[in-house]
Amino acid sequence: MPIETRKLTSAPSILPLYARAAAPLVPGASLLPFVPGGGGEIPEVRLELDGVRADPDAVAAYARVCGFALRDHLPPTYPHVLAFPLHMALMSDGSFPFGAVGLVHVANRITQHRRLGIGEELALRVQATKLAPHPKGRTFNVVTEVRVGRQIAWESTSTFLRRGKGDPSAASGEAFPTVPEETPASAEWRLGGDLGRRYASVSGDRNPIHMHALTAKPLGFPAAIAHGMWTKARALAALEPRLPDAFAVDVRFRRPILLPARVEFASADDGDEIDFTVRGRGEKRSSRHLDGRVKAKTGKAK
């Protein structure tokens, strides 16, 4: 079946999408045609949005919350924010097999082929891949491309886990490098109880698990948890002066960070590669929240 392409003329507005994304949590709602759910396969739909320009004031607010300096190019994680409304639209479509609220973001890989200028006109392409078996359920990827003209300048793959009947024989993913526990931390971060709300206001990601303990509890978390993409952005901000212009950064989201929190950041630089981790402090070091690796990209952009 060919991929259905839907061209959008403006970024979808996020809040109504959340209502639909959360609707499958209401028993029986998935039987309605406009509510996602009902299982089945992921629709082969590609969403496209052209003529996107980052708003410098919004970039400034995002940079402040994540710890980036406000430069003339976008923070490497920022295109994810630009594409987020498309992710939501994709996953809250009536044909989507399950609701976005309740999915677990387990991994994200960003490849920045070159720096994106704040004023550059970007074209976004978002599509989801087929379901794959996982020991704890099933996973799928949401793939985002950012083009400038005809060139792919930035791309990302977010992997989501839909918890459910797993396939114990499925590989849980390749071994992922981690910073050894004995590597001393380079920084300690104090994360406020309002971090989820602050990041929500600059990213648009208002998933209830990040907003407040009262909204996180019904979804199984004792407190609001930090956004995985904030944690990734904060880590890249800490590494910012060492990041090359072109690089790939792959992360695995491990244990959620319950807010407020004090966590450690540690990294190990090996020339072309930088491994990093966000983990508990002191005795809780073995409890890792995020593992990541930055790899310089050489050669021409695609």
Partner 1 sequence: MNPETRRVAVLGGNRIPFARSDTKYAHATNQDMLTAALDGLVDRFGLAGERLGEVAGGAVLKHSHDRDLTRESVLSTRLAPETPAYDVQQACGTGLETAILVANKIALGQIDVGIACGADTTSDAPIELNEELRATLLEANRQRSTSGKLKTLARFRPGHVVPRIPRNEEPRTGLSMGEHTAVMATEWDLGRAEQDELAVASHKNLTTAYERGFFTDLITPYLGLERDGNLRPDSSLEKLAKLKPVFGGPEGTMTAANSTPLSDGASAVLLASEEWAKEHDLPVLAWFSEAQTAAIDHVHKREGLLMAPAYAMPRMLDRAGLTLQDFDYYEIHEAFAAQVLCTLKAWEDEAFCKEKLGREAPLGAIDRAKLNVNGGSLAAAHPFAATGGRIVAGLAKQLHEDGKGRGVISICAAGGQGVVAILEGPEGATR
Residues forming the site for partner 1 (CB under 8 A): 56-57, 60-61, 63-64, 69-72, 118-119, 240-242
> Rounded to the nearest whole angstrom, what is the least distance from the CB of residue 297 to partner 1 in the complex?
17
Specify the residue, 19 or 69, whose C-beta has the smaller distance to partner 1. 69
Residue 241 CB, nearest approach to partner 1 (Å): 5
The nearer residue to partner 1, 88 or 294, going by C-beta atoms, is 294
For residues 35 and 239, which CB has a smaller minimum distance to partner 1 in the complex?
A: 239
What is the residue type of 84? F
Strands 187-191 and 261-270, by their bridges, are antiparallel
Q: What is the rounded distance in angstroms from the CA atom of residue 180 to the CA atom of residue 286?
A: 9
Residue closer to partner 1 by CB (options 63, 216) is 63
Cβ proximity to partner 1, 8 vs 61, nearer residue: 61
Rounded Cα–Cα distance for residues 102 and 99 (Å) = 7
Q: Which two tokens stand for residue 173?
A: 């993913």
Instruction: Name the residue nearer to partner 1 (CB basis): 163 or 242.
Output: 242
The CA-to-CA distance between both ends of the chain, in Å, stands at: 27
Minimum separation from the CB atom of position 61 to partner 1 (A): 7
CB of 77 to partner 1, least distance (A): 17
- In terms of C-beta density within 10 A (0-12 exposed, 13-18 middle, 19 or more buried), how is residue 45 classed? middle
- Asked whether 161 and 172 are in contact (CB, 8 A), the reply is no
Distance CA 252, CA 232 (A): 9
Task: Decide whether 91 or 118 has the Cβ nearer to partner 1.
Answer: 118
**Minimum CB distance to partner 1, residue 52 (Å):** 15
Question: For residues 212 and 94, what is the distance between their CA atoms, to the nearest angstrom?
Answer: 28
* Residue 6 · residue 48 · CB < 8 Å: yes
Calpha distance 254→288 (Å, rounded): 6
Distance in Å, CB of 60 to partner 1, minimum: 4
User: Residues 6 or more apart from 50 whose CB is under 8 A from it?
Assistant: 7, 123, 124
3-class state of residue 198 by DSSP: helix
CB of 237 to partner 1, least distance (A): 10
Provide φ and ψ at 15, rounded to 5°. Answer: -60, -50
